[in-house]
């Protein structure tokens, strides 16, 4: 009797990479994505860093055409990506390239519940979707649904977010290409690097996300450690709901205005208080998650495994999450092709996952020059 198809929940980078790897190996699968095809085509218009190792895996194991990958680079010059160096890619374009040719992808499937097998049963878990469909009986379920993984919440509810004490405000802006060339480009020696300026423990960052003929999309971030214990800090809101990300306190604009006179170009152009108020701003929480080994092993025994940021989330500033998700996907594809129990995958990867989370938190602290308990002053 043929085994049921693998059920992959989430069409982000790790889910797409895994799907392509399985398709090349002729392993049946279904890729379920929460968003509609229209919604997915409009999300994630920002740049991420892809390592040489990840580029190699996307081409050799996931079968992504090298020219298609090159077309996702932020730097459009022919020499971009030459040699063994990391490159910045537009995530929307990368995911679009990875989706091309994937068979068995189902849009508009939002997870409603995970039905766990009864104690002592050798059956696998089943995922139920809001549209009334469910994963096939006996299917191995792969939770590749990212930082806010619904699969993780079902199988490891104790694996909650750790909120690190570094408030961050992120914004996006579209510039006319002529303005960019005149006022920003002279300070950008390499589009594969994020521009940074430090003022004490505060960091101003500018990332070029997409270069077009007429416009340039960029994003920017202001981050710092929270204020010392006992001092009010309107920017640090660890208990806010997800919907509160759009609530930018007036103290942010006041803080930027205080620092603005000392900002060099091009940071003085981007971080101008009145201009910031016109942009789409979000308050970012520096989150991490590490799923306990015991929970991952128990889930594997029920035919479920998590990959990517669903199982090892690092704070977004300094994150290598896309690269780590690609490594997970390629490693898991080999195990699924052999028909090996997914518990082997967990056993092989869990120490690496724990190390990645620890290193990610360490990078966040190091870039701000303080430890977790440190405080910031202007």
The verdict on residue 374 lying in a domain is no
- In this structure, the answer to whether residues 301 and 328 fall within a common structural domain is yes
Q: How many residues does the chain have?
A: 378
Residue 377 has pLDDT above 50, yes or no: no
DSSP 262: G
- The total domain count for the chain is 2
Bridge partners of residue 313, in order along the sequence = 289
The answer to whether position 377 is within a domain reads: no
- Looking at residue 81, what is its pLDDT? 67
Mean pLDDT of 139-152: 97
The domain boundary residue, chosen from 224, 256, 286: 286
Res. 376: pLDDT tops 90: no
Q: Let me know if residue 34 belongs to a domain.
A: yes
Residues 124 and 263 in one domain: no
Specify the pLDDT at position 341: 86
Q: What DSSP line would sit under 201-253, residue for residue?
A: TEEEEEEEEEE-SSEEEEEEEEE-PPPPTTS--TT--TT--GGGGG---HHHH
Q: Contact at 8 Å (CB) between 376 and 369?
A: no
Q: How does residue 372 score in pLDDT terms, banded at 50, 70 and 90?
A: low
Element (H, E) at 197: strand 195-199
In a domain, 304, yes or no: yes
Q: Are residues 208 and 250 in the same domain?
A: yes
Clarify whether residues 32 and 155 are in a common domain. Answer: yes
> How many of the other CB atoms lie within 10 Å of CB of 353?
21
Do 111 and 183 share a domain, yes or no?
no
Whose CA is closest to 267, among 350, 213, 210, 205?
205
Domain boundary pick from 256, 286, 316: 286
The reply to whether 201 and 340 lie within a common domain is: no
More confidently predicted of 146 and 229: 146
Looking at the structure, do residues 280 and 183 belong to the same domain, yes or no? yes
Examine residue 142 and state whether it is found in any structural domain, yes or no: yes
**DSSP for residue 321:** H
Q: Map tokens 């649904």 to a residue.
A: 145
Burial 172-188 (b: 16+ CB within 10 A, else e): bbebeeeebeeebbeee
Looking at 234, 259, 286, the residue that finishes a domain is 286
Asked if the model's pLDDT at residue 374 lies above 70, the reply is no
pLDDT in tens, 171-208: 999 999 999 999 999 999 999 999 999 999 999 999 99
Q: What is the DSSP letter of 186?
A: G
- Tell me whether residue 103 is in a domain: yes
Within this chain, do residues 13 and 152 fall inside the same structural domain, yes or no? yes
Q: What is the mean pLDDT of residues 56-66?
A: 97
58 pLDDT band (50/70/90 cuts)? very high
Same domain, 297 and 277: no
Q: Give pLDDT, residue 65.
A: 96
Let me know whether 292 and 274 are in one domain: no
What integer is the mean pLDDT of 287-293?
96
- The answer on 154 and 182 residing in a single domain is no
In 3D space, the residue among 56, 57, 89 whose CA is nearest the CA of residue 74 turns out to be: 89
pLDDT tens-digit readout, 9-26: 999 999 999 999 999 999
Amino acid 187: pLDDT:
96
Tell me the residue range of the domain where 64 lies: 6-160+288-367
**CATH, residue 320:** 3.50.50.60
In this structure, the answer to whether residues 124 and 194 fall within a common structural domain is: no
pTM of the model: 0.94
Q: In what order do the strands lie in the sheet with 105-106?
A: 105-106, 29-32, 6-9, 141-143, 304-306
Q: Taking the alpha carbons of 261, 265, 267, 271 in that order, is the dihedral positive or negative?
A: positive
Measured between alpha carbons, how far is 165 from 378 in angstroms, rounded to an integer?
16
């Amino acid at each position: 009797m043929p085994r049921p198809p693998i059920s992959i929940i989430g069409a982000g980078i790790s889910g797409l990479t895994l799907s392509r790897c399985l398709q090349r190996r002729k392993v049946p699968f279904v890729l379920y994505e929460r968003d509609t095809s229209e919604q997915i085509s409009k999300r994630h218009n920002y740049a991420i860093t892809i390592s040489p190792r990840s580029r190699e895996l996307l081409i050799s194991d996931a079968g992504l055409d090298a020219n298609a990958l090159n077309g996702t680079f932020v730097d459009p010059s022919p020499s971009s990506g030459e040699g063994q160096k990391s490159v910045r890619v537009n995530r929307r374009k990368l995911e679009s390239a990875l989706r091309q040719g994937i068979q068995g992808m189902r849009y508009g499937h939002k997870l409603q519940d995970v039905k766990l097998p009864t104690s002592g049963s050798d059956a696998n878990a089943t995922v139920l979707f809001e549209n009334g469909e469910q994963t096939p009986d006996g299917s191995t379920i792969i939770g590749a649904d990212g930082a806010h993984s619904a699969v993780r919440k079902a199988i490891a509810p104790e694996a909650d977010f750790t909120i690190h004490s570094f408030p961050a405000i992120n914004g996006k802006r579209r510039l006319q290409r002529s303005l960019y060339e005149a006022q920003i480009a002279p300070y950008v020696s390499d589009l594969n690097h994020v521009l940074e300026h430090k003022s004490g423990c505060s960091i101003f960052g500018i990332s070029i996300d997409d270069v077009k003929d007429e416009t340039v999309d960029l994003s920017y971030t202001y981050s710092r450690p929270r204020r010392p214990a006992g001092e009010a800090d309107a920017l640090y809101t660890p208990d806010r709901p997800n919907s509160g990300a759009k609530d930018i306190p007036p103290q942010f604009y006041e803080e930027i205005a205080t620092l603005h006179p000392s900002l060099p170009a091009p940071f003085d152009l981007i971080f101008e208080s009145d201009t910031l108020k016109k942009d789409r701003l979000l308050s970012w929480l520096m989150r991490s998650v590490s799923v306990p080994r015991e929970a991952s092993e128990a889930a594997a025994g029920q035919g479920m495994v998590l990959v990517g940021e669903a199982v090892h989330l690092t704070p977004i500033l300094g994150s290598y999450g896309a690269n780590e998700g690609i490594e997970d996907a390629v490693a898991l594809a080999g195990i699924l092709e052999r028909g090996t129990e997914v518990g082997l995958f967990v056993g092989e990867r869990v120490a690496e996952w724990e190390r990645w989370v620890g290193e990610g938190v360490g990078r966040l602290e190091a870039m701000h020059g303080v430890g977790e308990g440190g405080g910031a002053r202007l």
